[in-house]
Amino acid sequence: MSDLPWKHIPPWNETGMQVCYNANLIFISCFTGHKPFVDDFMSVFLCKCLFCCLKGPDLIEKANGLHGFMNWKRNLLTDSGGFQMVSLVELSEVTEEGVKFRSPYDGKEILLSPEKSISIQNSLGSDIMMQLDDVVSSTVTGPRVEEAMHRSVRWLDRCIAANKNRDKQNLFAIIQGGLNAELRKACLDEMTKRDVPGFAIGGLSGGEEKDDFWQMVTLSTDHLPREKPRYLMGVGYAVDLVVCVALGCDMFDCVFPTRTARFGSALVPWGTLQVKHKQYAKDFQPIDPDCQCPTCKKHSRAYLHALFKSDTAAMHHITIHNIAYQLTLMRSVRESIVEGRFPEFIRTFMKRLFPSGDQYPSWAVDALASVNVTLD
């Protein structure tokens, strides 16, 4: 057991590797032979395979995969298309064979099987591929959750068998089981028998109670192998990122920072700053005076406020800032872990976000207490 006050022992402690893959915004692979950069830029490209089905992965394959197509030298992660079972539930039907989607444009049916998903991801050449899983919303209860969990295990085996590029492309399993501890435990037992390079915790962050959320996260990290990366899917609020690192998660993805930017909301260490508000019309400071991003170096709140009314470029500027905010946050988390002061970092971070301690979300207080991190 760890004698550290949080659950996760950074792997460099155990293996001596000059890399800390804890708390990257997205995992930086040390399995592919790429030199991992602690200060790497965001290295994720979540690809919706469903849309690749429509557009054709052959073109990407001809360009030497997504790395060549995008001229992207660092790591890439592709998603399997499974999440679209939740986001396009009216247009999809799940059978043992796979998931059938009906095109919203011409009504044509597309079958996404585990084999098809892996074949597409092999063509894309990503460093981390996700298995096709049977995803149900975290608010669904009853026998469908159990069915989806067992099917996800069977589909994992089909995905493993279908992977034609095992040396270079790392296939991650996705733990399912909804909010049912027994089912999640059964899924963990079964999937960790497979020798996959990493594990994701799926089926959460879909509108469930935060108490249920962190309990399922901590149950999962308790049973996942320490030496392999743990990727918590769909999580991106600053508090959630910091707390879930303490619970033992290494990787995250979320549309939140970019989506909220399009509504004019800039992420800052003290919460959010809504540039559309009138109070910023004559405010010539940058969004965050301490931020080193191109937006903050160049533009004022007043300029962004004015620009937002007439030009979508304002959304792009705020998007760049929000991504920089998250990368800086995760870099600070990593540094604090490397330097052995993560609990202090959490206390300072929470105090800045919630200046009066009684505003701390109770779930975060409980989750942190479970790994012996107490807040002031």
Active site residues: 79, 253
**Nearer Cβ to Zn ion, position 228 or 301?**
301
**Nearer Cβ to Zn ion, position 292 or 310?**
292
302-321 footprint of Zn ion as x/- string (CB under 5 A): -------------------x
Residue type, 153: V
Q: Which of 293, 318, 329, 333 binds Zn ion (CB under 5 A)?
A: 293
**Nearer Cβ to Zn ion, position 78 or 322?**
322
Rg for the chain (alpha carbons), in Å?
A: 21
Whole-number minimum distance, CB 266 to Zn ion, in Å? 8
CA-to-CA distance for 116 and 118, rounded, in angstroms?
5
Q: How many residues bind Zn ion (CB under 5 A)?
A: 5
- Burial class of residue 71 in the structure, from the number of CB atoms within 10 Å of its CB (0-12 exposed, 13-18 middle, 19+ buried): exposed
Whole-number minimum distance, CB 308 to Zn ion, in Å? 16
Whole-number minimum distance, CB 296 to Zn ion, in Å? 3
- The residue among 217, 216, 222, 201 whose CA lies nearest residue 7 is 222
319-338 footprint of Zn ion as x/- string (CB under 5 A): --x-----------------
Strand partners, 101: 92, 110
Q: Which of residues 233-292 bind Zn ion (CB under 5 A)?
A: 291
Q: Is 7 in the site for Zn ion (CB under 5 A)?
A: no
Residue type, 34: H
149-188 footprint of Zn ion as x/- string (CB under 5 A): ----------------------------------------
**Nearer Cβ to Zn ion, position 47 or 275?**
275
Q: Which of 296, 314, 327, 373 binds Zn ion (CB under 5 A)?
A: 296
Whole-number minimum distance, CB 189 to Zn ion, in Å? 44
Whole-number minimum distance, CB 285 to Zn ion, in Å? 11
Whole-number minimum distance, CB 261 to Zn ion, in Å? 11
Which window, 39-47, 141-149, 231-239, 293-301, contacts Zn ion (CB under 5 A)? 293-301
**Nearer Cβ to Zn ion, position 232 or 329?**
329
**Nearer Cβ to Zn ion, position 25 or 112?**
25
Q: Which of residues 37-66 bind Zn ion (CB under 5 A)?
A: none
Longest dimension (CA), the chain: 60
**Nearer Cβ to Zn ion, position 164 or 297?**
297
CA-to-CA distance for 266 and 274, rounded, in angstroms?
6
Whole-number minimum distance, CB 329 to Zn ion, in Å? 12
- Which residues of this protein are in contact with Zn ion, per CB under 5 A? 291, 293, 295-296, 321
